[in-house]
């Protein structure tokens, strides 16, 4: 029996990566008809498609490519109610991201389609990028880089009140201790930092030997550097605003490589202008791309990157490998490792 699979890649997780990993993970002797399409991201920003968010491509093209397919491997293809109704042969939709935000999970469950995802695919890359932003923000790299590119040699950065701080000996607070936050914690501890962690979902014993678990209020009041690694929920949306920043030591640094919705960026700009914050580093924003007139773009002390913390070649390979592994398990009749709606499979 031949199984038709669609590898709906993009310009990051390439179709050929998905197909290659699929063929490596498939059961011996499996007959696969692998189709490929290439979605336009990141050359065209992702966004809402029908009722799903952070998707790339359009429903019509996906419906045509999925005709007769049992399995779809993708990063950003939109799994919508309309796609599901139009593709009755589909049984497994594998999203190579930390969460299947581009899939209508409730509709997939109603239509009997299992949806899997790829947790931890970018943990190493994002942890490394977080450390880069922490170091850059703590030492004012963003401003001096811009000055030097414009021919200005800022020797005054040796002024005591202007120069930055070291990681060694600093108290660093991490909000979230998952796959990314835990990696950041281990590196910071190895650099000589005292690491505090606030994560209500992690048992205190998990952080033992690496960090000290504390309340969010205590973390903010003690930490010279704060880095965010939390998911966006009702409780965490806007969790760092004017009041929270005011409770941090004067001259602190704030870094966010998680999600823009966690932070009130106007409050950050106010704090940078007043000197309450000495620096900040952001890879994520409330609106992406950042609007041309956004205050962050002109506020001194900020290091900005365009949501690229997870952009490494290794991440693309890991993402393809994780979803291909799910397809392989599905073809062998084994339980999926990362199924978002296990009830579809009787789990």
CATH of 2-121+313-345, one of 2.60.40.10, 3.40.50.12280, 3.40.50.720, 3.90.1170.50: 3.40.50.720
Tell me: the pLDDT tens digits for 326-343? Answer: 999 999 999 999 999 999
Tell me: the pLDDT tens digits for 79-138? Answer: 999 999 999 999 999 999 999 999 999 999 999 999 999 999 999 999 999 999 999 999
The 8-class DSSP code of residue 199 comes to: -
Domain with CATH 3.40.50.720 in the chain: 2-121+313-345, 123-304
What's the pLDDT score for residue 204? 82
Residues with Cβ within 8 Å of 92's Cβ and at least 6 positions away in sequence, in order, are: 70, 71, 72, 113, 114, 115, 116, 326, 327, 330
What's the pLDDT score for residue 205? 86
Q: What is the mean pLDDT of the chain?
A: 96
pTM of the entire predicted model? 0.91
Q: What dihedral angle (degrees, nearest 10) is formed by the CA atoms of 192, 186, 319, 334?
A: 170
What's the pLDDT score for residue 347? 59
Q: What dihedral angle (degrees, nearest 10) is formed by the CA atoms of 172, 175, 176, 177?
A: 20
Bridge partners of residue 212, in order along the sequence: 196
- What SS3 state is found at 38? strand
Percent pLDDT > 90 in the chain is 93
Closest CA to 199 of 181, 186, 225: 181
Tell me: the pLDDT tens digits for 137-187? Answer: 999 999 999 999 999 998 888 999 889 999 999 999 999 999 999 999 999
Residues annotated as catalytic are 259, 288, 307
The hierarchical CATH code for the domain 123-304 is 3.40.50.720
């Amino acid at each position: 029996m031949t199984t038709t699979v669609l590898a709906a890649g993009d310009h990051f997780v390439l179709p050929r990566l998905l197909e290659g990993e699929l063929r490596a993970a498939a059961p011996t002797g499996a007959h696969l008809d692998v189709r490929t399409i290439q979605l336009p991201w990141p050359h065209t920003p992702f966004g809402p498609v029908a009722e799903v968010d952070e998707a790339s491509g359009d429903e019509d093209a996906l419906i045509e490519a999925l005709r007769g397919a049992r399995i779809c491997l993708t990063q950003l293809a939109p799994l919508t109610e309309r796609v599901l109704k139009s593709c009755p042969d589909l049984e497994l939709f594998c999203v190579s991201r930390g969460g299947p935000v581009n899939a209508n999970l409730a509709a997939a469950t109603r239509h009997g389609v299992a949806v899997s995802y790829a947790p931890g695919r970018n943990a190493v890359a994002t942890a490394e990028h977080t450390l880069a932003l922490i170091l850059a923000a703590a030492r004012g790299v963003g401003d001096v880089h811009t000055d030097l590119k414009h021919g200005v040699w800022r020797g005054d950065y040796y002024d005591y009140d202007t120069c930055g701080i070291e990681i060694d000996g600093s108290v660093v607070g991490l909000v979230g201790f998952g796959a990314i936050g835990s990696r950041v914690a281990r590196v910071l501890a190895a650099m000589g930092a005292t690491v505090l962690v606030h994560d209500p979902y992690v048992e205190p014993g998990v952080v033992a030997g690496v960090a000290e678990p504390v309340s969010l209020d205590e973390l903010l009041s003690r930490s010279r550097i704060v880095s965010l690694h939390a998911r966006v929920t009702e409780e965490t949306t806007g969790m760092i605003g004017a009041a929270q920043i005011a409770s941090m030591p004067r001259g602190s640094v704030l870094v966010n490589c998680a999600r823009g919705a966690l932070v009130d960026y106007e409050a950050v700009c106010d704090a940078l202008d007043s000197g309450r914050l000495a620096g900040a580093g952001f890879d994520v924003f409330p609106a992406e791309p950042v609007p041309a007139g956004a205050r962050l773009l002109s506020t001194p002390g900020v290091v900005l990157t365009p949501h690229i913390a997870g952009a490494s070649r290794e991440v693309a390979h890991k993402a393809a490998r994780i979803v291909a592994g799910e397809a392989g398990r599905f073809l062998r009749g084994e339980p999926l490792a990362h199924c978002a709606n296990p009830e579809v499979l009787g789990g």
